[in-house]
Chains A and B, each alone.
Chain A
Amino acid sequence: MLMRNLAAKIALTPMMIIVAVVYVGCILWTFRTSFTSSRVLPTYDFVGWDQYAALFRSTRWIVSLENMFIFGAAYILGCLIVGYLMAIFIDQRVRGENTLRTIYLYPHAMSFIVTGLIWQWMLNPTLGLQDFVRNLGWESFSFNWIVDRDLAIFTVAIAGIWHGSGFVMALLLAGLRGIDAEIWKVSKIDGIPAWRMYIQVILPILLPMVLTCVFLLSAQAVKSFDIVVAMTNGGPGIATEVPAKYVMDYLFERSNIGRATAAATVMLVMVISIAAPLLYLRSFRKERQSGAGK
């Protein structure tokens, strides 16, 4: 027993060190710095909750938080649905699979500095699709979401789905290809239609992969700011601001490390308070299952 744990412990040592020194260290540093008046460089004075108070007085921060949930929901659901559909369809022994897969995946490879600009052009009513369709003769055609303060955040989500669903496809495809083909013979015997198989049988098998996707996508959704910077720069006005952009702006452009770390701490607390109950429920359920197995 000791030997078995020893080898595993040695293998996990690099991870343990990195977690302890870097991740725990950085989280603690972030937390500590959020109570200081740090500007360009970190200082270690103590100003109490000042930074948090200023944070929640700011309209922009409140709008950012709302946007994070709207963008996050649209982005995660969109990527999962589109990615899963593409993975299923591409798994039907189609011609040109390699080409199709590369096309779906290529946005992932491109720097957002420029692809964001392309999306901005395409969606801009006077440069892009709206103008194009109107020139074709459909004069009343309107597609101006990106300049509409209520809808602009969804255009950011569309570009996000374009960027992210290819990877979801790749991950789920890897999962689909790992599933035993026997299962389809069984389904045919039972006369279950394919679409129900994909929802009721395959999806639960793929659950660990789907959870991986959900995790990756939500981390992206919380952290993404480059897509917003490239597409709308937070506009029109402050309509598409997101918390990560707030952190970045205060960290670098606005030279207020104290505020930036306060914002990062709030983000972290929110993530934990959403994730912790879910994780607890999951591990609880698992224990029950394994308990029933014994």
Chain B
Amino acid sequence: MNRATASADAFPVRVRRRKPLITPARLGLYAFLVSAALFFALPLFIMVITSLKTMDEIRTGTIFTLPMAFNLDPWIKAWDAACTGITCEGIKVGFWNSIRILIPSVALSVTLGALNGYALSFWKFRGANIAFALLMTGAFVPHQVYVFPMVQISAALGIFGTLHGIVLVHVIFGLPVMTLIFRNYYAGIPEEIFKAARVDGAGFWRIFLTIMLPMSTPIMIVAVIWQVTGIWNDFLFGLIFAGRDNLPMTVQLNNIVNSQFGEREYNVNMAATILTALVPLFVYFVSGKWFVRGIASGAVKG
């Protein structure tokens, strides 16, 4: 209880007694958190129960009806046996492709974003802000509009239909948000730290690597979350730019859930969607470790 601790420290005389463990405020706090969690979890709940039903149960029951038995077949089918074209091997087919696209794209775009954000916040010079404004403007155009020119650029570079091609596309389209996130984060860091380092004779790269990056953990996590989610869930760019050998998992997912005229297997669709989301969910969950108070503020003080 941060506030309570703080108050106990701050008011040694006035507030001597310890706060009770359960106060009305504390109850209200949990009531809010839990009801918000319920609101957020309700669609997932429906997805999970739907994924465990048989198609007959889905046809006859309502969406809130609980499954009659714990039926894992749709999950196995989604992963291993659902048809995604002429082959019926489920969504597992594209898993490693997605990983191979994800890792370099996220690493490159986050690094570039951090570097840009740092350079733009502390090393101001003519032209930089105009470039930044243009970049931000570009972020407001639906990226699909850029498909044609991007296809031509990537064909001219000779990387259309390759892993390099798709990584470059993700880095390019991730650039505005990455740059913005880091720029605005570094904008909140006191100028004095930077000036002190300059006085000590540290240069551009040394300040970045030894001072700024260590202070960037929380925002780095946020940036990674954003990019992992966007790149992992990307479908159209992967389809167009990655080439037949590198098609990401979302292409299989789309083939399972988005078939227009075939019979719909909602249970398999739900299972496939949840399975596909597991990688970003895993990243969200483990990222919690770094959502710790004081990494940034500690560094600021130091």
Contacts and interface: CB of A to CB of B under 8 A. Distances in A.
Any A–B CB pair closer than 8 Å: yes
Interface of A: 3-5, 7-9, 11-12, 14-16, 18-27, 29-30, 41-42, 82, 85-86, 89-94, 97-98, 100-111, 113-115, 118-119, 121-122, 127-128, 131-132, 135, 162, 166-167, 170-171, 173-175, 177-181, 184-185, 188-189, 194, 205, 208-209, 211-212, 215-216, 218-219, 222-223, 225, 244, 247-248, 251-252, 257, 260-261, 264, 267-268, 271-272, 275, 279
Interface string B266-278: 0001100110110
A209 B185 contact: yes
Contact of B294 (A30, A175, A177): A177
Contact of A180 (B9, B219, B297): B297
Contacts of B84: none
Contacts of A108: 225, 229, 280, 284
Given A11-B115, A21-B153, A106-B284, A247 B33 contact: no
B218 interface: yes
Contact of A118 (B46, B175, B187, B235): B46
B128 A12 contact: yes
Contacts of B297: 177-181
Contacts of A4: 123, 203-204
A114 to B, nearest CB: 4
B54 interface: no
Contact of A177 (B63, B115, B273, B292): B292
Nearest to A197: B3
B296 A177 contact: yes
B261 interface: no
B262 interface: no
Contacts of B148: 29, 41-42, 257
Interface string B214-234: 000011011001100100110
A184 B135 contact: no
Contacts of B296: 177-178
B134 A111 contact: no
B39 A271 contact: no
A30 B141 contact: yes
15 contacts: A8-B119, A11-B118, A12-B131, A105-B225, A107-B40, A108-B284, A109-B284, A173-B291, A177-B292, A178-B188, A185-B10, A188-B10, A208-B188, A219-B177, A267-B142
A5 B125 contact: yes
Interface in B219-272: 219, 221-222, 225-226, 229, 232-233, 235, 250, 253-254, 257-258, 269-270
B133 interface: yes
Contacts of A167: 222, 225-226
Given A21-B153, A104-B37, A106-B277, A16 B62 contact: no
A127 B64 CA distance: 9
B277 A111 contact: yes
B2 A93 contact: yes
B302 to A, nearest CB: 12
Interface of B: 1-3, 6-7, 9-11, 29-30, 32-33, 36-37, 39-44, 46-47, 62-64, 112, 115-116, 118-120, 123, 125, 128, 131, 133-150, 153, 172, 175-177, 179-181, 184-185, 187-188, 203-205, 218-219, 221-222, 225-226, 229, 232-233, 235, 250, 253-254, 257-258, 269-270, 273-274, 276-277, 280-281, 284-285, 288, 291-297, 300-301
Contacts of A215: 136, 139, 180
B190 to A, nearest CB: 11
A1 B119 CA distance: 15
Contacts, number: 286
Contacts of A110: 273-274, 277
Nearest to B286: A98
B67 to A, nearest CB: 16
Nearest to B276: A111
Given A25-B153, A110-B274, 8 more contacts: A9-B125, A94-B29, A97-B288, A102-B281, A104-B36, A118-B43, A177-B297, A178-B295
Residue among B112, B139, B258 with max Cβ neighbours from chain A (10 Å)? B139
A108 to B, nearest CB: 5
* 9 pairs of A and B residues whose beta carbons are closest in the complex: A7-B204, A23-B138, A8-B123, A178-B296, A174-B218, A109-B280, A98-B288, A208-B184, A188-B10
B112 to A, nearest CB: 6
A279 B133 CA distance: 9
Contact of A188 (B7, B141, B184): B7
Nearest to A85: B32
Contacts of A216: 177, 180
Contact of B205 (A7, A14, A90, A257): A7
Contacts of B285: 98, 102
Given A5-B123, A15-B131, A110-B273, A181 B140 contact: no
